Amino acid sequence: MGIRLGAAWYPEHWDEVTWRQDLKLMREAGLNVVRIAEFAWADIEPSEGHFALDWLERAVSLAAEHGLDVVMGTPTAAPPAWLTQAYPEVLAVDEHGRRAQHGKRCHYDVTSSLYQKLCARVVEELARRFGPDERVIGWQIDNEYNRVSFSEQARRAFQEWLQGLYVDDEGRPSLAALNSAWTTSYWSQKYTSWSQIPLPAEQNHNPALILRFHQFVTEAYCRFQRLQLEIIRRYARPGQWITSNFMGFFHGFDHYRICEELDLASWDHYIGTGHLDLVRAGAAHDLTRGFKRRNFWVMETQPGCVNWAPINNMLDRGEARAMAWNGIGRGADAVLYWQWRSALNGQEQYHGTLVAPDGTPRPFYQEVKRLSEDLQKVGDLLDGQTIRAEVALLHSYDDRWAIEAQRHHRDFDPLAHYLHYYRCFAGRSIMTDIISSRAPLSDHGYKLVIGAPVHIIDEAIAAELKRFASEGGHLVLSIRSGFKDAHNRLHQSRPPALLQDAAGMYVEEYYALLEPVPLRLELGGQAIEGQGQIWAEWLTPLEGTQVLARYGSSNGWLDGQAAVTAHPYGAGWVYYVGAWLDERTQAALMGWIAERAGVRPVLAGLPENVAALRRGDAIVVVSARRERCQLSLPGRYRDQLTGRLLEVELELEPYGVAVLVPA
Ligand code: GLA
């Protein structure tokens, strides 16, 4: 089937004549998949228990007649007005105790068992009708899970969930176990009944409570999703897959957990204000690929502009094509635009679309057409091809929640710190996986693994990292690694707890920095005068550990202490980076480590905001630059998009794309 191209379409346009016109234009643009029904509950179940699916079936038939496959959305992100009026208790409650109003979406309380029952009923109707349907290739459950409810029912469900987590030796719920793990004698928090445990609706709660609440929200969405999965799977014909669409680095729930039960991961790729940064967008693609450790879909992408950003600027001409290829080069098997046609009313009137209210193409339509022409040329070459990376960055929602709740320095944004590492590799066109900190590392061919940081650590995580390094891998640990245990409790040994022996050092002290501290990095005879900013740690090396960087004079404590260390461990190496380094020093250090680990870029020496991505045997080169640029090639290649033979150089137009195979 090649790479899929598609758009979202909503029932507000439903009448046969319009739909036929739309389908004809979709076909002419080269689309082969349409996503429908994800907010259509009010049209699917116009009144309680009365279902109207014939129009939807007709829409599916007509799509098929025009050669388009269908992705069916379950409409549960938008409960109808009759439902919220009859059952107001299904509406979410915010931190201040206010119930959500009708008229928006995702206004439901995911912990409501009544809501789950109502969802199950509509999903069952849809699944019964479209599960066996050849024309429906897959399902999307709900839309962008995000809402957290602080209702009474959520509180009770949280308390119940905790009872399964904190148990005594015989597996019985144990408040004593919870009190001990949460250190509740502190500030007299000790609980004598499960019913006393609050939801963290205010700032500055117990770190264990905060972490567990995020995990609970994840479990609540898992349960909500599982209910729909089970129903759909009961009716689905073989081959129909099920996904849900996510929002990049949004961290309202643990995506690894949610994806365990899905067949496919997908995400919605928007830029909002500004322009395409290949590395920043690339990180979200790599993240999504890592959810199931295989190719993924871009379920929504921006057709020119959005309507929700501070400035809804239109992408430059050609930019969306580069945006799509940046995803395809990183393992996207489909790119779908949101949405096809403007709704005449509703909250998203100004959003970009492919077709205007009069049903004729907007300028952006041509851009999608061009992308479909690309895909006709190379779709087969890339079909079924996956990404193999030599570098893996570990990622953990627990870590992000734990640090976010206690930044210690207001500028310690865990995601910014994470991307500070990612950029050193992806920005140099080194293929990089982003995987769960709990993912097994063997059999993936990694040479370099980075924990930026591995903040919460337990025996299982530590054992896998040690095994990786001892078998010859290079392991980098950043600041704040090995600080906490699974209860978000401080480890009783110095950081990096459980990894001190592997890292050959420990953290003597940590400092939030008012001003940058100077440091000197020495890499094989070359010295770099750099800085640590925001956060610095005084490292105490153990025997046999090399010191790669030392602090200059600053607060007295750090003066002359180790800032970066390297320690041989088994057949490999463990590096500890004790400060948030300035960009130049960070790039030099990561470049040096990558070289020692034998990691190679797909193409070296690329200009800023140009990426070379390897998918199977092909190299996808993408420019997100407004001006032309040249790059040199290490051999002879043929560009499969133009058919040109390239000897030593490739010239790219603004936002240019090439798909190279060795010639
Ligand atoms: C989200 C939603 C879509 C639409 C777009 C607009 O990603 O999933 O339904 O609202 O944003 O950018």
Alpha helices in 317-441 (DSSP H): 319-328, 364-382, 397-405, 414-426
Cβ-based neighbours of 328, under 8 Å, separated by 6 or more:
3, 335, 382, 615, 620
3-state secondary structure 283-300: HHHHHHHHHHCCCEEEEE
**Domain range 610-662, CATH class:** mainly beta
3-state secondary structure (DSSP) of residue 378: helix
% of the chain with per-residue pLDDT over 90: 98
Grouping H, G, I as helix, E, B as strand and the rest as coil, residue 118 is helix
What local confidence, expressed as pLDDT, does residue 121 receive? 98
Judge contact between 582 and 520, C-beta under 8 A.
no
Task: Tell me how far the alpha carbon of residue 37 lies from the centroid of ligand 1, in angstroms.
Answer: 14
CA angle 119, 22, 140 (to 5 degrees): 25
For the record, the structure tokens of 386 come out as 């996956």
Residue 223 · residue 184 · CB < 8 Å: no
Distance CA 429, CA 420 (A): 15
Q: Is the CB of 144 under 6 A from ligand 1?
A: yes
State which amino acid sits at residue 110.
Answer: V
Q: What's the 338 CA to ligand 1 centre distance in angstroms?
A: 7
Cβ contact 653:633 at 8 Å: no
Q: Which atom of ligand 1 is nearest to the CA of 308?
A: 12
pTM over 0.95: yes
Contact 26, 359 (CB under 8 A): no
Between the CA of 348 and the centroid of ligand 1 the distance, in Å, is: 9
Q: In this structure, what DSSP letter does residue 588 have?
A: H
With a 6 A CB cut-off, is 623 part of the ligand 1 pocket?
no
Query: Which of the following is catalytic: 144, 319, 390, 537?
Result: 144
Active site residue 48: no
What string of H, E and C letters represents the secondary structure of 280-343?
Answer: HHHHHHHHHHHHHCCCEEEEEECCCCCCCCCCCCCCCCCHHHHHHHHHHCCCEEEEEECCCECC
- Give first-to-last CA distance, the chain, whole Å: 25
**Nearest alpha carbon to residue 395 among 362, 417, 380, 373:** 417
User: Is 38 touching ligand 1 by the criterion CB < 6 Å?
Assistant: no
- Over residues 285-344, the pLDDT tens digits come to 999 999 999 999 999 999 999 999 999 999 999 999 999 999 999 999 999 999 999 999
CA distances to 19, 37, 211, 306, 662 from 12, in Å: 11, 10, 41, 19, 48
C-alpha to C-alpha distance for 517 and 532, rounded to whole angstroms:
5
Residue 528 neighbours by CB under 8 Å, 6+ apart: 520, 521, 522, 584, 585, 588
246 lines ligand 1 (CB under 6 A): no
Tokens at 403, concatenated:
């640090």
State both tokens at 471: 């078998």
Tokens describing residue 536: 């610095």
Residue pair 367/410 in contact (Cβ under 8 Å)? The answer is no
Cβ atoms of residues 258 and 145 within 8 Å: yes
Residue nearest atom 7 in ligand 1 by C-alpha distance: 268
Residue whose pair of structure tokens reads 């078998």 in the numeric block: 471
Q: Which atom of ligand 1 is nearest to the CA of 39?
A: 9
Residue keyed to tokens 């994840």:
218
CB 550 within 8 A of CB 531: no
The pLDDT value given to residue 443: 87
| Residue 306 CA, closest ligand 1 atom number | 12
| Ligand 1 touching residue 45 (CB < 6 A) | no
How many Å lie between the centroid of ligand 1 and the Cα of residue 279?
Answer: 22
Nearest 5 degrees, angle CA 627-CA 633-CA 637?
Answer: 105
144 part of the active site:
yes
Instruction: Evaluate whether the domain defined by 391-597 bears CATH number 3.40.50.880.
Output: yes
Q: Is the CB of 351 under 6 A from ligand 1?
A: yes
Question: In a mutational test of the pocket of ligand 1, which residue from 71, 146, 247, 300 has the highest number of ligand atoms less than 8 Å from its CB?
Answer: 300
142 lines ligand 1 (CB under 6 A): no
Q: Ligand 1 atom 10: the closest Cα is on which residue?
A: 348
Q: What confidence score (pLDDT) does residue 524 get? A: 86
Distance 509 CA to ligand 1 centre (A): 45
What separation in angstroms does the CA of 103 have from each of 100, 144, 348, 610? 9, 17, 13, 43
Looking up tokens 């090639």 gives 633
Distance CA(165)–CA(4), nearest Å, equals: 42
Q: Is 397 helix (H, G, I), strand (E, B) or coil?
A: helix
Q: Is the CB of 43 under 6 A from ligand 1?
A: no
- CA gap 116, 226 in Å, rounded: 10
The alpha carbon dihedral of 262, 268, 269, 273 has a sign of negative
Per CATH, 391-597 and 610-662 having the same topology is answered no
Name every residue whose Cβ is closer than 8 Å to that of residue 67 and which is 6 or more positions away in sequence. Answer: 27, 32
DSSP label of 70 = E
Find out whether the beta carbon of 140 lies less than 6 Å from any atom of ligand 1.
no
Q: Which amino acid is at 391?
A: V
CA-CA distance, 657 to 613, in Å (whole number)? 11
Q: Ligand 1: which of 38, 268, 323, 351 to mutate, most ligand atoms within 8 Å of CB?
A: 268
Rg of the chain over all Cα atoms, to the nearest angstrom:
26
Six-digit token pair at 80?
């109808």
Decide: 496 and 481 in contact? Cβ < 8 Å. Answer: yes
CB distance 268 to ligand 1 below 6 Å: yes
How close is the Cα of 144 to the center of ligand 1, in Å?
8
Q: 537 CB less than 6 Å from ligand 1?
A: no
DSSP string, 124-161: HHHHHHHTT-TTEEEEE-SSS-------HHHHHHHHHH
> Residue ranges per domain, the chain?
152-211, 391-597, 610-662
Ligand 1 pocket, 500 CB below 6 A?
no
Instruction: For residue 367, report the distance from its CA to the centre of ligand 1, in Å.
Output: 20
CB neighbours of residue 560 within 10 Å: 9
Q: What are the residue ranges in the chain where pLDDT is below 70? A: none
Q: Which of 45, 300, 367, 537 is catalytic?
A: 300
Q: Which residues contact 354 (CB under 8 A, 6 or more apart)?
A: 7, 25, 29, 303, 337, 340, 341, 361, 362, 364, 365, 368
Of the candidates 415, 573, 456, the residue with the CA atom closest to the CA atom of residue 564: 573
Q: Which of 338, 350, 353 most suits a substitution to test ligand 1, by most atoms within 8 Å of the C-beta?
A: 338
Spatial distance between the Cα atoms of 446 and 391, rounded to a whole number of angstroms: 6
Is the Cβ atom of 353 under 6 angstroms away from ligand 1?
no
